[in-house]
Chains A and B, each alone.
Chain A
Amino acid sequence: MTTSGDKTITIALMDPPYESGTTTTALRIVDAALRKGINVNVFAYEGAVNMTMKAQAPHPNPVKGTSIEEQDHPSTARFIAGLFELSQSGPALDWINCGLCVDERGAGDWIEGPRRGGPGDLFKMSQASTNTLIIGTR
């Protein structure tokens, strides 16, 4: 749990990657908060645990006829790895993947940075935060 610094925000995220605008929005908020010196906790629930899967791979676009290199597709795992890198030199990023959600999806092989946890962690993080933003699936 992140408690250092003046302000901390906790974000609960539920949507899987590549299917909704909420995941991009959440990542942008995390980026902006870290750059403003705000510590960030993320609780990835249900499909959101897939956002950090290490095996995500870029692909070409056969509609446009572009290659993998030309398409330069940044996965959510790459974005999140960048956020962890950003947190090395400033406010902390603590990313918890819901363990039961991970198990039911076989999504346990993730990038360096996130850790396994449970709903109790969301409660604890929320209690220790300036504010909590819940981004559910609609």
Chain B
Amino acid sequence: MAGILSVVERAYHGTIEEQDDTILWVSHMLKNAGADLSVLLRSNAVNYAVKGQDASGLSIGGVELSVPPRLDDDVIALANSGAPVYVVAEDLADRGISADDLCDGVQTVSRADLASLFDDHDAIWHW
């Protein structure tokens, strides 16, 4: 049985000011600290797995955001660190996101299979 399943559903909350998503970030930190951890992206957070996002060009009061968030790269890096990253298939379909739109390394899971996915983990952390 796997360890922790971290569920992320709030999306793009503070990502500009933080230059990343706080839960993807802390998940990666926990993985680096030795946690056996998976991440489930659901609801609006499935958009984090869409490749080619570009949040560059923002300037406020003449202060430029020279290092914008790159959430698709963060998802890829998380998956490459050994943390499985799942996205809910129906949430993708609801938003018109196809499999071709997704970055490498993510795995789709249907809503019907979520209970099994939860059962496969010791703990569910719903952020």
Chain A residues at the B interface, C-beta cutoff of 8 Å: 17-21, 23-24, 27-28, 30-31, 61-64, 66, 70-74, 76, 78-86
Contact = CB atoms under 8 A, between A and B. Distances in A.
A42 to B, nearest CB: 13
A39 B19 CA distance: 29
B63 A82 contact: yes
Contacts of B94: none
A18 B19 CA distance: 9
Contact of B12 (A21, A27, A73, A81): A21
A88 B99 CA distance: 50
A71 B63 contact: no
Contacts, number: 73
Contacts of B64: 74
A interface: dominant SS: helix
Given A31-B59, A79-B60, 17 more contacts: A17-B14, A18-B22, A21-B12, A21-B13, A24-B17, A27-B61, A62-B29, A62-B32, A63-B77, A64-B77, A74-B65, A79-B61, A79-B63, A81-B63, A82-B62, A83-B60, A86-B61
18 contacts: A17-B14, A20-B14, A21-B13, A23-B17, A27-B61, A31-B60, A63-B20, A63-B25, A63-B32, A63-B77, A72-B67, A73-B67, A74-B63, A78-B63, A79-B61, A80-B61, A82-B60, A82-B61
Contacts of B15: 21
Contact of A81 (B18, B58, B61): B61
Given A17-B17, A19-B14, A85 B67 contact: no
B42 interface: no
A78 to B, nearest CB: 5
B16 interface: yes
Nearest to B60: A79
Interface string B82-112: 0000000000000000000000000000000
